[in-house]
């Protein structure tokens, strides 16, 4: 099947995944400020609200996860048509839609306008960008021509630069992200090579025809969210993700029926997870021993930001190779497109 990658992947989604580290590098190589109309913004904020859906929203989840130890104000991710009641002029609202036509995000924009909030827009085109320019709101451009889920390198880098330009984060956090480029480039060489030593290919071969449960600690929840979404959109596979310790308070009781022999569990470990959570994951794994197949995935890297990005990148490759093993083109999302046309 791997001999037919180019015929299956007729839109060359392979390149979109391979270019992930280049996207980050491109954003930070630019000496230009990322924000337009920055003067429209407030000078201090009490909280951050990130509004987005799908591939555009995951950058917000990633940002929150990466900065949770450094931020002095909370970050809330909003996947809805409405903004929370607590939103005020002291809320930094970031509206992200790759196409600029995501109706949930456009609805949130209307509510922000009605409530006197001046948001930041991240988009490549569409109504969102057009309205921002017309109103005079601050915005940042993301390069065109990609599927939203394939623009994550741009999205997360742009978010970091935005927060740096408005002095919410400093050079220390920026440098941590920039330092990941070297290791991501090395990973790009390893995971794009079609051979028997490619760990992404080996894992995809094991899981592509199973229902997969992705278990992570709380600090790695975004990894489970991203991988579940990538398996669905790229490989057309259903899966589920859950976090520890919450799993121990309900889902652990579900492993008693005959369906479990069709499951794979992917255990995602990170060294910075709470010791009690790591212990719970190990005990749970031992309880489920023999009931389900399991695969252990450990994060690698010096900083949490590096480990998180490298895990996301690795699992993006796994989802791509799952698509190839399933003989499906990873690029189109026909069901999503059909749903949007019927709304």
Q: Residue 297 pairs with which residues in a beta bridge? A: 268
For residue 132, the surrounding DSSP H or E stretch is helix 126-135
In the set 15, 89, 274, 340, the catalytic residue is 340
In the set 6, 31, 72, 249, the catalytic residue is 249
In the set 104, 233, 306, 308, the catalytic residue is 233
Is 25 noted as a catalytic residue in this protein?
no
144 CB neighbour count, 10 Å cutoff: 11
Residue with tokens 């749970």: 284
- For CA atoms 328, 331, 334, 339, the dihedral sign is positive
Mapping DSSP to helix (H, G, I), strand (E, B) and coil, where does residue 207 land?
helix
Q: Residue 172 pairs with which residues in a beta bridge? A: none
- SS3 for 138-150 is EEEECCCCCCHHH
Is 172 noted as a catalytic residue in this protein?
no
Residue 276 to residue 273: CA distance in whole angstroms: 8
Is 241 noted as a catalytic residue in this protein?
no
Of 232, 179, 177, 192, give the one whose Cα is nearest residue 62: 177
65 CB neighbour count, 10 Å cutoff: 20
Active site members? 233, 249, 340
């Amino acid at each position: 099947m791997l001999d037919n990658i180019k015929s299956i992947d007729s839109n060359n989604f392979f390149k979109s995944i391979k270019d992930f580290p280049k996207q980050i590098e491109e954003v930070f190589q630019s000496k230009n400020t990322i924000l337009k109309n920055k003067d429209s913004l407030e000078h201090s904020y009490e909280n951050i609200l990130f509004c987005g859906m799908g591939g555009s929203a995951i950058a917000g989840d990633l940002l929150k996860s990466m900065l949770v130890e450094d931020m002095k104000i909370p970050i809330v991710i909003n996947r809805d048509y409405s903004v929370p009641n607590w939103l005020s002029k002291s809320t930094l609202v970031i509206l992200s839609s790759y196409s600029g036509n995501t109706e949930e995000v456009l609805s949130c924009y209307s509510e922000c306008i009605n409530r006197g909030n001046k948001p930041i827009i991240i988009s490549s085109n569409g109504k969102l960008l057009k309205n921002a320019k017309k109103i005079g709101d601050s915005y940042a451009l993301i390069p065109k021509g990609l599927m939203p889920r394939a623009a994550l390198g741009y999205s997360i880098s742009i978010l970091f630069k935005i927060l740096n330009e408005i002095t919410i984060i400093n050079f220390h956090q920026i440098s941590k992200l920039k330092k990941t480029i070297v290791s991501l480039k090395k990973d790009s060489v390893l995971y794009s090579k079609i051979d028997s030593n490619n760990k992404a290919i080996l894992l995809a071969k094991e899981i592509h025809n199973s229902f997969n449960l992705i278990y992570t600690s709380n600090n790695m929840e975004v990894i489970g969210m991203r991988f579940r979404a990538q398996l669905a959109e790229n490989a057309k596979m259903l899966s589920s993700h859950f976090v520890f310790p919450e799993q121990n308070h309900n889902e652990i009781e579900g492993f008693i029926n005959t369906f479990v022999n069709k499951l794979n569990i992917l255990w995602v470990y990170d060294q910075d997870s709470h010791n009690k959570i790591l212990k719970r994951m190990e005990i749970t794994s031992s309880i489920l021993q023999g009931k389900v197949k399991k695969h252990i995935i450990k994060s690698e890297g010096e900083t949490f930001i590096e480990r998180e990005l490298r895990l996301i990148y690795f699992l993006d490759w796994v989802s791509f190779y799952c698509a190839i093993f399933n003989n499906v083109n990873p690029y189109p999302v026909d069901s999503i497109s059909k749903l949007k046309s019927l709304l």
